[in-house]
Amino acid sequence: MRRAWLDPRLAIGALLVVASIVGVWLVVQSTTRSTTVWVASETLLPGDVIDADDVVATELRMEGATDAYLSAAATPEGLVVVSPVGAGEALPLTALGDADAVDLATVVLALDDPLASTVEEGSVVDVWAAPPGEQGAFEAATVLVGDAVVVGLVADEGIIADDAVRLEVLVPREDVAGVLDAVANAHAIHVVPVATPVSP
């Protein structure tokens, strides 16, 4: 009786085919895997306390660490926002905390220059100030406040309107005195966007 011998090359080839199929299956599974997280239904700003209308549970396909976002299994109501979250953006855990972590105050800036088109509610901007110089000119501008958060535009409700753009921003309380001093001394104020809200 003749024994049947298995060709080692055939066995290795079969193993490679199986391994390739398993690898493709794993890739497909990883790219189609989804998870349900809380997504902001509107722009959330530092200091906002989340309520039921501010977020919606959404199933998303997410690459990377899904545990970096607030799972729909958790309760979002009552959590405090500590950094801006754009509308339609999944809630990152790093943007949530408690009220003690938010030490910001609101100030209104009068800007002579138009705003960049990317500046909107929730945008992060640097506030620059240039002190007045001689003969109506201004000295070199420096950063007055870094990473201020835009609350929104303020309508001019005065009797005499001017061309200044009024922007409401959140700044650290420790910087409020410097901002008010710059405003009182007629510094030229400019804002430069450094980040804008993005959606996943």
pLDDT digits (tens, 9 = 90+) for 119-161: 889 999 999 999 998 888 889 999 999 999 999 888 765 554 5
The per-residue b/e assignment along 14-43, b for 16 or more CB within 10 angstroms, e otherwise, is eeeeeeeeeeeeeeeeeeeeebebbbbeeb
Q: Residue 39 above 60 pLDDT? A: yes
Structural domains of the chain sorted by starting position, each given as residue range(s) with its CATH number in brackets: 1-102 (3.90.1210.10), 103-195 (no CATH)
pLDDT digits (tens, 9 = 90+) for 60-115: 876 666 678 898 899 889 899 998 999 999 999 999 987 777 888 999 998 878 88
The H or E element containing residue 188 is strand 188-195
Whether the model clears a pTM of 0.85, i.e. scores above it, the answer is no
Token code pair at residue 67? 């545990």
